[in-house]
Structure 1
Amino acid sequence: MGLNGDSYIERHGLWTDDQHKRAEEICEQIERDGLKTVRLGWGDQHGIVRGKTISAAQFMDSLKSGKDFQLVTAIFDTTNHPIVPPFGASNDLNIPEMIGLPDGILVPDPFTFRVLPWVKDTAWCLSDAYFASGNPCPLSTRQLLRSQVEKLAAMDFGMKVGLEFEFYVFRMLDPMLSPEDSGYPPTPPEVEMISHGYQYLTENRGDEVEGIMSYLQESLEQVGLPISTIEDEWGPGQCEVTFDPLPPVEAADAALLFRSAVKQLCRRQGFHASFMARPKVPNVFPSGWHMHQSLTNLSDGSNAFMAESGDDPLSDVGMQYLGGLLAHASGTSVLTTPTINGYKRQMPDSFAPSKAAWARENRGAMLRVIGRPGDPASRIENRIGEPTANPYLYIASQIIAGRSGIETKADPGEPAIAAYLSDRPDLPSNLIKAVEGFKASETMKAELGETFHNYYVMLKEFEINRFMSEVTDWEQNEYFEMY
């Protein structure tokens, strides 16, 4: 199939020459391998893959014209409640193109195309969201990250990101699919543990879960994800997967596919995987998302964080970037830890930081610095994130804060020794405080744009208000009998 001639993508100049070339290769692959179906996905505001499953022929047409898609999903909270009146007369989002909720257009990124080994004759491809005018949807987080990568490149820097995810795998007992369980949100599944817990990195415990772990590893590698390690973690059935370093957008794309794939693969084998930071299951240990990051010099690809000499573990650029992460810890918290539940990781000595502090090789600090003069693997590990975070926003928040640190020559101060006890600023301890920090950050507003900044505040405040209106188990236990 040829892709020449006038098309939406070509008319608006939405692809590079390399993307056009890759699209031609994909069409040949589809016909050669007899692929029948493609899942065309879009990473929404929560980092969840939404999209359409379309025929191979329809997908090849979308490589010219894009695919119509209902962008109403952009105004949904995590349970698909609209955060603004869908057909209100006023335009609370300040986006004229979304009045009346017309279709947007998903434009595939050919470089994300891959065949899914666990679904017959089916491929998967990520996309970017545009309007009919050819303008990008300002709520598209992938494009926000791409903008930050471009700003970083203007400073002659690239970036490497190392993903480190913790999550739980449970055995599914009852998926709770009866009509009365299909609510808004639905009743969560009933599960049991797949191993006993708190035997961290123990060979025998690892062998107990080898079956599902090997299946995950094989499938994830077949789909092209650069898995580095896959192992049992601290809690019962808690797992950790790490990736080889990737450029920022590729890392975020990989995170999106990884989380979606793990849940699908586990479900197909009778398990339930959850990236929830602190599930309400007895004897579980909270899960985090630790992000390793470093800048590279675009001129030669070398590590810009590597110190040549001196006492600091990182170069001047690296220390300034570190200072920026600390200075903007409050403003970026809602992007690294975006849920009510994520802040419940913060317990004493829980491996979840509570202070805006850095330290050398100290897992109690928000920022663990790994490096020394001459070490080409010098980097910063941010330990504040939760596994549910939107990967595009998490990574973009790091670039925004780090760039600001470089531009202002921010001083990170001295490293903390006892991170939880150090005299450093407290990190937001709940989502309400995180939203307040985000709202107060002029840097975040300027970098993300006022439209997205306002939208994200609305999104999170809607979630908070829904939570505050619920009667919790704690309230029932605390007050029902006493009063």
Structure 2
Amino acid sequence: MTPRIGEGLPPLAETLPPPPPPPPFPVPLDRLREDAASGAIADVIVALPDLQGRVQGSRVHPRDFTERIVGEGFGACLYLLATDVEMEARPGYATDPWRGGLGDFSIVPDPGTLRYLPWDPGTALVLGDAVGADGAPVPVAPRQVLKAQLERLAGRGWRALAGTELEFLVFRDDYQRAFEADYRGLTPATRFNSDYAVPEVAGIDPLMRRIRTAMERTGMTVESARGECHPGQYEIVFRYDDALRTCDNHVVYKAGSRQLAAQAGAALTFMAKYDGGEGNSCHVHLSLRDADGAPVFADDGTGRRGMSRYMEHFVAGQLACMRDFALLYAPNMNSFKRLAPGAFAPSSVAWGLDNRTCPVRVVGSGESARIEFRVPGGDANPYLAVAGIVAAGLHGIERELVLPEPTVGNAFEQDLPRLPASLEEAVAAWEGSDAARACFGADVVRHQAAAARSELAAFSATVTDFERIRHFERG
């Protein structure tokens, strides 16, 4: 009998530093000092999300963190915000690390993100913001890109609530074996389409339970978990929260689940499209609240179709900006393999009432009235994706854009405006967009375009299996 992934590992509680139960989230600095003094916490990782949404940073001593770094920040090389997935810094970014002599910026910790890591006993993690030598935030840092859009919302007395539904594929091979095999010929952890299935995913339940428990212990609230369509595919959904906190949780979840999979002798991937099967999505649910906590999207008699007029304008903004902002939702060459027609992911510009074939799905009522934005894949940077959704919505509200009638039926089969079909097309739309420059500023537009061009350059220089198979003997 094939062992279930994760069997034989000690229970998660046995790997945690004492004392149980887990500390509150965020961990108070006084609690960190106490646990550092007792030896329960030996390291604090001071980190920030990079352009790919990865957690990048350094380990520091807890005493140094509490006495100095929490107030002053910690130096990190500027190139962290201007590299591709291979950590290669090409020219063209708005913050050019080479032109700046590979100097430093500071990661200024956000104490509201401080948490202990169950998969790394004795370690705490804090996320922070990139701050330049002039003391100003670095505008192209993904966390700051989102914060800038949330500040625009705050100017209206609103805040955004968001939840991300992130899918991934689990394989029975460990990461070293996957690497040595060039990530080909791997064995999915389940054999069939396991969408909503229960018995079919029993083999990976130990690992999935371990991931869910670990995330709960870092301050997240699990709402649901289930198998998905592609063999080995799974989805864990966490309760919505303030948009910034949701994105912070998102990047911690991705990093932690990879480490937990590795400890179980397995591997998982969030790439948008691993093979010809279903891709990994990252559907984003988003709503707005006013200063009193009242839902901005709820039907108040000012709009039609059970929505407020603000919600109608917000959705109209998504349609108006979806092509221009596609680069924020689909940042890689591989992203557009998932968005291809017939791949059960959006390929058109449309909205619908509880219609999953549309990129914008309007669901809920009253306090739960929200949009589900279905364009991003599992490879999307959550800060940039949510920033794009908020910016597009404000674009529609500020211009009072009129919302067309909803798409009824299967949007895949209808003649509708199309999303960009490639990264090249998405870059062109982004760079030519007046809306992008108005919402994000010229530096962010240039920076994200440079990131995409770095991806394109790397792909263009690579000879693929497709080319060898097609042309080695017959070309």
- The TM-score normalised by the length of structure 2 is 0.89
Counterpart amino acid of residue 453 in structure 1: V
1:38 counterpart residue number? 44
Contact map agreement 1:324 1:405 (CA 8 A) in 2 = yes
Instruction: Report the RMSD for the aligned CA atoms in angstroms.
Output: 2.4
The alignment status of 1:154 with 2:155, answered yes or no, reads yes
Distance 1:456 1:470, change over 3 A: same
CA distance, structure 2, for counterparts of residue 339 and residue 177 of structure 1: 21
Equivalent in the alignment of 1:56:
62
Look up the match of 2:285.
292
Q: Which residue of 1 aligns with 2:74?
A: 67
Structure 1 residue 26: Cα displacement: 4.2
Note the C-alpha offset of 1:358: 0.4
Q: Alpha-carbon deviations, 1:191-236, whole Å to 9, x = none?
A: 3221111132112113232111111111111111122111111111
2:250 corresponds in structure 1 to 255
Select 2:459's aligned residue among 464, 467, 477: 467
What corresponds to 1:315 in structure 2?
308
CA distance in 2, matches of 1:174, 1:66: 34
C-alpha separation in 2, matches of 1:456 and 1:103: 20
Matched residue, 2:411: 419
SS in 1 for 2:262: helix
Aligned to 1:379: 370
Give the counterpart of 2:203 among 198, 202, 208. 208
Which one of the candidate residues 336, 341, 360 is aligned to 1:343? 336
The alpha carbon displacement at 1:131 in A equals 2.1
Secondary structure in structure 1 of the residue aligned to 2:283: strand
Look up the SS of the partner of 1:257 in the other structure: helix
Which residue is 1:400 aligned to? Answer: 391
Letter paired with 2:299: A
> Whose relative contact order is higher, 1 or 2, with alpha carbons under 8 Å and at least 6 apart?
2
Match 1:234 to one of 220, 229, 234: 229
Unaligned 5+ runs, structure 2: 1-26
Deviations 1:432-482 (A, max 9, x none): 111111111112123222122112111111211221222222222223332
Q: 1:273 aligns with which of 265, 268, 284?
A: 268
Residue 379 (structure 2) pairs with residue 388 (structure 1): yes
> How far off is 1:69 after superposition?
1.1
Question: What is the SS of the residue equivalent to 1:192?
Answer: coil
Cα distance between partner residues in 2 of 1:325 and 1:229: 27
Aligned to 1:131: 132
1:188 positional shift: 4.1
Cα distance, 1:347–1:70 mapped onto 2, change above 3 Å:
closer
Is this contact kept in 2: 1:176–1:190, CA < 8 A?
A: no
Residue in 1 aligned with 2:176?
175
Following the alignment from structure 1 to structure 2, what is the Cα–Cα distance between the partners of residues 248 and 107?
Answer: 20
Q: For 1:211 and 1:395, how far apart are their aligned partners in 2?
A: 32
Alpha-carbon distance in structure 2 between the residues aligned to 1:154 and 1:435: 30
- What corresponds to 1:303 in structure 2? 295
Of residues 379, 399, 409, the one that matches 2:400 is 409
Deviations 1:12-58 (A, max 9, x none): xxxxxxxxx95456435543673111111110111111100122122
User: Which one-letter code corresponds to 1:355 in the other structure?
Assistant: S
Aligned partner of residue 331 in structure 1, secondary structure: coil
Verify the 8 A CA contact 1:172 1:190 in the aligned structure 2. no
2:250 and 2:203 mapped to 1: Cα distance?
Answer: 26
Contact 2:32/2:41 (<8 A) preserved: no
Q: Which amino acid aligns with 1:304?
A: V
Deviations 1:68-118 (A, max 9, x none): 21122222111112112xxxxxx8636699610112211111110011122
2:424 corresponds, among 424, 432, 441, to: 432
1:70-149 to structure 2, matched below 5 A, reads 70-84=77-91, 93=94, 99-149=100-150
Corresponding residue number in structure 2 for 1:4: none
1:117-169 CA distances to partner (integer Å, 9 max, x unpaired)? 22221111101111233122232111121111111011121111021111111
Shift in Å, 1:357: 0.2
Inter-partner Cα distance in structure 2 for 1:105 and 1:384: 33
Identity percentage over the alignment?
28
Instruction: Find out whether 1:223 has 2:214 as its counterpart.
Output: no
CA separation in 2, counterparts of 1:32 and 1:202?
Answer: 45
The AA in structure 1 aligned to 2:471 is: Y
Task: State the secondary structure of the residue aligned to 2:173.
Answer: strand
- Mapped to 1, the partners of 2:184 and 2:219 lie a distance apart of 30
Q: CA deviation at 1:240?
A: 0.7
Question: Cα distance, 1:413 vs. partner?
Answer: 0.4
Report the alpha carbon displacement of residue 311 of structure 1 after superposing the two structures with TM.
4.5
Equivalent in the alignment of 1:367: 360
Unpaired runs of at least 5, structure 1: 1-20, 85-90
Q: Aligned partners of 2:96 and 2:469: how far apart in 1?
A: 45
The equivalent residue for 1:449 is 441
